[in-house]
């Protein structure tokens, strides 16, 4: 489980090391919140001693004693997630069963069934051969399945992943990319869904740090540079509000927090703006100490005070106090105009709300009377369990469906009787039908949204009231999968389609058996297999299904030859078997000249540059081995990289550019600015004459004095491209120039 583990090497256990281990253990005890009984302390000490003994010969990549890792994970569980004794014990032992001689039976004897179940959920799948595309997806599936028993498995797994990300420096570049991609693909969205915002933000930031080190360092440096200015601004901005809060007798705390580096970078990409143009680089948080029954009214009082002094943006009010997010997040967000002419986001919440926002799910256990919001989380966990109950889905489908339940943006919609339902943004009328009940979804033929008839694929908006129209004759169809975004709906549709396929297969089997009898052949598996092979069906069930649907016509065989009850069918060219990785590599390894060197042994291979990100020499790239299409080269920051590295890490090969050949590569540039006479001529002159670049296409659009242009041109490498971008940025009137993938 530890990403930074090294093979055991004999080292002298110095007195200083022992002191450090003891110091960290005491720090762990101090970090545990709430009352701790002598029995709790005894259990934690016992787990610590066992872990210390089990890992005594292991060390991390950094050379540190391995015990530092479980101690750090346990401390994250206690200090940053707020978990109790059982979780701390499990965190201390989380790698023992996987990496040492300790067995689950030993754990059961020493600590009982609860700790054993959690440790089992945390133990990786290893040494087993799965009929699946991805061992990683199987690992994700196992971790997620344990949600059905104990959510602490996920929380400890997140703590484990956070510590691994914090200590990823010593790993090889390809390992860093794989682990960072897994983190972005599953663990950060999972932390978000469980309400662990600070952990989610740190996981995303660390993933960006290893995927795009230059981008990360640049934004980090800019944030540090502006820190003093930000503090002065916040101090001045809050002065009148502080005075008003004091007059009203509020007990409060004010925090000025910069947004996470990852969210700033995302905003820059999404809105296509520079760092300076991201207006909400930081948010001001006002946390009030108030009783639970008064907190909603008091938060609105504070909102009223803030908007007395500063003009709010009506489109940027987010009220998650009246309608909390499904993961229990509550807060009042508003964006107001400051005297300096910049927008500032202000978040208003109570101390209880702040704890739940920081600690997520675990904090709910400390507010036992918070039935309503704990209930929302239980409802989500129950939905997750529904999806988990289906053992037939492939691991990758399973993880992709599950991820649909993790993303954060939500809408609130209503049933005809006014019952409120939370759905992810982009959910359709069909998603809503399945959210009501699986049977309602399966029989849905249409819907009325705000009393108007709409199709099943109609995207819902917050505040919509939906009435579902059903028919007993309706059955789910294949295209329904393109109408839905929720995991629950996808799971139910797939299940229904499989049931339909099984029923049709029964009809097809009877038809095939009748034919076999009519031909005088035996009705047995061997003859059925011969038919399946002849018609290139993937299995007997697939053959029967295709017969029932009319896609296979047995009459085309006429009256086949039958010898001793056996069918003798004309031979077809056998289907091409899926080739092994070694076969693919062997076939594509050649002497063709290319600018790319791939693999650990740095041998030249044929490759294709992937059209989804158009890599050029100088880009940070990796190779992905496809089946049948050789190696595809992607940029490390390609939109598809996270999914490929998460689910198919074993098909990723190292790639780097060798030398600078005279080959030219297609790259795209987008630029915008203020329209001036002769501007197009200047730009084309720089591209084609000063830089000797061949253009494939160029287009300009001008609208009310603002122009936007795009050029696709052939360049030799990233240096050539960056030099061209630098020249274009110096042209009068050009405001921004950036590379585009297509």
Q: Given a cut of 50, is residue 581 above it in pLDDT?
A: no
Residue 240 lies in a domain: yes
Q: Evaluate whether 449 touches 460 at the Cβ level (below 8 Å).
A: yes
Between residues 678 and 165, the one the model is more confident about: 165
Token pair listed for 181: 């991609």
Nearest-CA neighbor of 201 among 153, 266, 140?
266
Between residues 459 and 642, the one the model is more confident about: 459
Q: Is 702 helix (H, G, I), strand (E, B) or coil?
A: strand
Q: Evaluate whether 376 touches 353 at the Cβ level (below 8 Å).
A: no
pLDDT for the residue numbered 176:
87
680 and 643 assigned to the same domain: no
Instruction: Centre a 10 Å sphere on the Cβ of residue 718 and count the other Cβ atoms it contains.
Output: 18
In the chain, the largest separation of any two C-alpha atoms, in whole Å, equals 101
Domain C-terminal end among 624, 639, 657: 657
Q: Given a cut of 60, is residue 68 above it in pLDDT?
A: yes
Q: How many Å apart are CA 396 and CA 402, to the nearest integer?
A: 10
Catalytic residue among 2, 95, 99, 410: 99
587 and 639 assigned to the same domain: yes
Task: Say which DSSP state 486 is in.
Answer: S
Which residues make Cβ contacts (< 8 Å) with residue 218, sequence separation at least 6? Answer: 275
* Cα 598 to Cα 112, 594, 656, distances in angstroms: 50, 11, 6
Q: Given a cut of 60, is residue 580 above it in pLDDT?
A: no
pLDDT bucket at 453, cuts 50 / 70 / 90: confident
* Cα 245 to Cα 51, 137, 236, 287, 583, distances in angstroms: 51, 51, 15, 11, 72
Token pair listed for 159: 């703590």
Q: Given a cut of 90, is residue 455 above it in pLDDT?
A: no
Residue 461 lies in a domain: no
pLDDT bucket at 350, cuts 50 / 70 / 90: very high
Residue 292 lies in a domain: yes
Which residues make Cβ contacts (< 8 Å) with residue 516, sequence separation at least 6? Answer: 522, 523, 527, 528, 567
Instruction: Centre a 10 Å sphere on the Cβ of residue 184 and count the other Cβ atoms it contains.
Output: 21
> Beta-strand (E) ranges in 127-279?
251-258
Q: Is 319 a catalytic residue?
A: no
671 and 652 assigned to the same domain: no
Which residues make Cβ contacts (< 8 Å) with residue 111, sequence separation at least 6? Answer: 43, 46, 47, 89, 93
CATH of residue 70's domain is 1.10.3210.10
- For the chain, state the CA radius of gyration: 30
Q: Is 709 helix (H, G, I), strand (E, B) or coil?
A: strand
pLDDT for the residue numbered 125:
41
Residue 447 lies in a domain: no
228 and 335 assigned to the same domain: yes
Q: Evaluate whether 567 touches 527 at the Cβ level (below 8 Å).
A: yes
635 and 562 assigned to the same domain: no
Q: How many Å apart are CA 723 and CA 48, to the nearest integer?
A: 57
pLDDT for the residue numbered 502:
84
pLDDT for the residue numbered 37:
85
590 and 705 assigned to the same domain: no
525 and 631 assigned to the same domain: no
pLDDT for the residue numbered 400:
62
243 and 362 assigned to the same domain: yes
Mean per-residue pLDDT, 374-389: 59
pLDDT, one tens digit per residue, over 258-280 is: 888 888 888 888 777 777 777 66
Q: Given a cut of 60, is residue 559 above it in pLDDT?
A: yes
pLDDT, one tens digit per residue, over 75-134 is: 998 888 888 888 899 999 988 888 888 888 888 898 888 888 888 877 754 333 333 445
653 and 673 assigned to the same domain: no
Q: Given a cut of 70, is residue 690 above it in pLDDT?
A: no
Burial class (CB in 10 A: 0-12, 13-18, 19+), 210: buried
pLDDT, one tens digit per residue, over 402-426 is: 655 555 467 788 888 888 787 888 8
241 and 328 assigned to the same domain: yes
Residue 623 lies in a domain: yes
Catalytic residue among 57, 79, 98, 533: 98
Residue 409 lies in a domain: no
Q: Is 347 helix (H, G, I), strand (E, B) or coil?
A: strand
Q: Given a cut of 70, is residue 55 above it in pLDDT?
A: yes
Q: Given a cut of 50, is residue 695 above it in pLDDT?
A: yes
Q: Side by side, which strands form the sheet with 466-470?
A: 452-454, 444-449, 466-470
Residue 279 lies in a domain: yes
101: which strand partners?
none
Q: Given a cut of 90, is residue 289 above it in pLDDT?
A: yes
Residue 702 lies in a domain: yes
Q: Given a cut of 90, is residue 71 above it in pLDDT?
A: yes
The most confident of the ranges 164-178, 386-400, 575-589, 675-689 is 164-178
Q: Is 202 a catalytic residue?
A: no
Handedness of CA 681, 684, 688, 691 (dihedral sign): positive
Q: Given a cut of 80, is residue 662 above it in pLDDT?
A: no
Q: In total, how many domains does the chain have?
A: 5
Q: How many Å apart are CA 707 and CA 681, to the nearest integer?
A: 14
Q: Given a cut of 90, is residue 153 above it in pLDDT?
A: no
Tell me what the pLDDT averaged over the chain comes to.
78
Domain C-terminal end among 606, 626, 657: 657
Which residues in 317-341 are b (16+ Cβ under 10 Å) and which e? Answer: eebbbeebbbbbbbbbbbbbeeeee
Mean per-residue pLDDT, 579-605: 43
Give the domain extent around 696: 665-740
Between residues 358 and 573, the one the model is more confident about: 358
**Measured in Å, how far apart are the chain's first and last C-alpha atoms?**
39
709: which strand partners?
671, 700
Identify the residue whose tokens are 């999968």.
Answer: 481
CATH of residue 363's domain is 3.30.460.10
Q: How many Å apart are CA 378 and CA 388, to the nearest integer?
A: 15
Between residues 713 and 29, the one the model is more confident about: 29
137 and 81 assigned to the same domain: yes
Q: Given a cut of 60, is residue 444 above it in pLDDT?
A: yes
**Residue 511 CA, distance from chain mean position:** 46
pLDDT for the residue numbered 366:
47
Percent pLDDT > 70 in the chain is: 79
468: which strand partners?
447
Identify the residue whose tokens are 């689950």.
Answer: 104
Q: Is 156 helix (H, G, I), strand (E, B) or coil?
A: helix
Question: Would the pTM of this model clear 0.85, i.e. be above it?
Answer: no
CATH of residue 700's domain is 3.30.70.260
* DSSP H helix total and E strand total for the chain: 29, 25
Nearest-CA neighbor of 296 among 348, 249, 246?
348
645 and 685 assigned to the same domain: no
Domain C-terminal end among 657, 690, 710: 657
pLDDT for the residue numbered 426:
84
């Amino acid at each position: 489980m530890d990403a930074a583990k090294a093979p055991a090497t004999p080292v002298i256990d110095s007195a200083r090391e022992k002191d450090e281990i003891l110091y960290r253990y005491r720090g762990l005890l101090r970090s545990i919140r709430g009352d701790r009984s002598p029995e709790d302390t005894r259990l934690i000490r016992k787990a610590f001693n066992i872990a210390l003994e089990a890992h005594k010969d292991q060390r991390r990549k950094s050379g540190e004693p391995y015990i530092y890792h479980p101690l750090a994970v346990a401390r994250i569980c206690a200090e940053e997630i707020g978990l109790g004794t059982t979780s701390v014990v499990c965190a201390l032992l989380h790698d023992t069963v996987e990496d040492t001689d300790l067995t689950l039976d030993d754990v059961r004897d020493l600590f009982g069934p609860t700790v054993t179940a959690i440790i089992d959920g945390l133990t990786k799948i290893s040494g087993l051969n799965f009929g699946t595309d991805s061992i990683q997806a199987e690992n994700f599936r196992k971790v997620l399945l344990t949600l059905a028993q104990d959510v602490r498995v996920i929380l400890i797994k997140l703590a484990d992943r956070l510590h691994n990300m914090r200590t990823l420096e010593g790993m090889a570049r390809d390992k860093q990319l794989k682990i960072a991609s897994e983190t972005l693909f599953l663990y950060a969205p999972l932390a978000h869904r469980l309400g662990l915002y600070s952990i989610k933000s740190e996981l995303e930031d660390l993933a960006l740090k290893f995927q795009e080190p230059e981008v990360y360092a640049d934004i980090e440096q800019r944030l540090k540079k502006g820190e003093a200015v930000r503090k002065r601004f916040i101090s001045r901005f809050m002065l009148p509000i502080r005075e008003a809060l004091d007059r009203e007798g509020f007990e409060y705390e004010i925090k000025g927090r910069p947004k996470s580096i990852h969210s700033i970078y995302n905003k820059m990409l999404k809105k296509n703006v520079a760092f300076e143009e991201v207006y909400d680089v930081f948010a001001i948080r006002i946390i009030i100490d108030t009783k639970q029954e008064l907190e909603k009214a008091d938060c609105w009082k504070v909102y009223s005070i803030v908007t007395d002094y500063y003009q709010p943006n009506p489109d940027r009010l987010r009220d998650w106090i009246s309608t909390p997010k499904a993961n229990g997040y509550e807060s009042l967000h508003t964006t107001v105009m400051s005297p300096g002419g910049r927008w500032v986001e202000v978040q208003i919440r109570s101390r209880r709300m702040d704890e739940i926002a920081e600690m997520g799910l675990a904090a709910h256990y400390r507010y036992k009377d918070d039935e309503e919001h704990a209930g929302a989380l239980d409802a989500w966990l129950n939905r997750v369990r529904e999806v988990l109950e289906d053992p037939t889905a492939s691991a990758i489908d399973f993880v992709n469906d599950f991820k649909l339940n993790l993303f954060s943006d939500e809408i609130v919609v209503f049933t005809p009787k006014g019952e409120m339902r939370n759905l992810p943004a982009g959910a359709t009328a069909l998603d809503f039908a399945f959210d009501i009940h699986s049977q309602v979804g399966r029989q849905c033929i249409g819907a009325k949204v705000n009393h108007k008839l709409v199709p099943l694929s109609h995207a819902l908006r917050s505040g919509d009231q939906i009435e579902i129209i059903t028919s007993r004759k309706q059955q789910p169809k294949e295209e329904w999968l393109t109408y839905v975004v929720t995991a629950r709906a996808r799971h139910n549709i797939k299940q229904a389609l499989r049931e339909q396929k099984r029923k049709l297969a029964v009809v097809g089997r009877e038809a095939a058996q009748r034919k076999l009898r009519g031909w005088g052949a035996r009705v047995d598996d061997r003859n059925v297999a011969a038919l399946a092979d002849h018609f290139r069906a993937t299995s007997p069930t697939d053959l029967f299904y295709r017969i029932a649907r009319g896609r296979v016509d047995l009459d085309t065989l006429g009256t086949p030859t039958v010898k001793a009850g056996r069918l003798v069918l004309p031979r077809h060219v056998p289907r091409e078997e899926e080739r092994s990785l070694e076969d693919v590599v062997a076939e594509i390894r050649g002497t063709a000249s290319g600018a790319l060197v791939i693999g650990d042994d740095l041998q030249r291979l044929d490759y294709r540059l992937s059209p989804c990100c158009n890599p050029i020499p100088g880009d940070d790239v990796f190779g992905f081995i496809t089946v049948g299409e050789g190696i595809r080269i992607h940029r490390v920051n390609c939109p598809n990289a996270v999914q490929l590295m998460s689910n198919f890490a074993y098909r990723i090969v190292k790639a780097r550019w060798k030398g600078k050949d005279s080959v030219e590569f297609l790259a795209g540039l987008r630029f915008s600015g203020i329209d001036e006479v002769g501007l197009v001529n200047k730009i084309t002159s720089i591209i084609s004459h000063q830089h000797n670049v061949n253009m494939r296409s160029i287009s300009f659009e001008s609208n009310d004095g603002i122009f936007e242009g795009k050029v696709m041109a052939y360049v030799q490498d990233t240096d050539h491209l960056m030099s061209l971008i630098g020249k274009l940025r110096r042209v009068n009137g050009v405001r921004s120039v950036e590379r585009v993938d297509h």
